[in-house]
Amino acid sequence: MQIRIEQLSDDRRFIPEILGLWNENCIETAECELSDEDKAAIQNQLKQYSQSEFGMVCVAFDETSKLVGYGLASMKKDLVIQECYGQIDELYVLPEYRRQKTARAIVEKLSRWLQYKNASPIYVFVDLDNKLAQDFWESSGLSKEFYIMSNN
């Protein structure tokens, strides 16, 4: 199977498809669908990331040009040490395209972009209950560093 990874630029025709995949991700991980308000906010985020020098959206297509995955990365600034670091904000691949290195290809593209922007280190937030994601990120070279606590 041939997978093609592209950076999304001002071409907004894929945004509805990405929103569809994002909704699939929510159903799979949170057992709920996106609200209209969520969809509008995500659509705005996708536009901002694809137009900003501080964000990137990657999309993955199969050999029939079907959108099968996406990833978002952003640069953040540590205000204490005044240096930039990278964050992979979102990653999703349709279940039938998993274990075929699609997610790895998206992560590699996002990581190369962050390295090009001198945004290091790279962080990823992973749900404590998502063992599959934790294993994936560890196999991608990341390690558990600390837990983030919240009042939610």
pLDDT of residue 9: 81
Ramachandran angles phi, psi of 93, nearest 5°: -135, 135
**Domains identified in the chain and CATH numbers:** 4-139 (3.40.630.30)
pLDDT tens digit string along 72-115? Answer: 999 998 888 788 999 999 999 999 999 999 999 999 999 999 99
pLDDT tens digit string along 3-38? Answer: 999 898 867 788 999 999 999 999 988 899 999 999
Distances (CA, A) of 140 to 11, 80, 111: 29, 28, 11
pLDDT of residue 101: 93
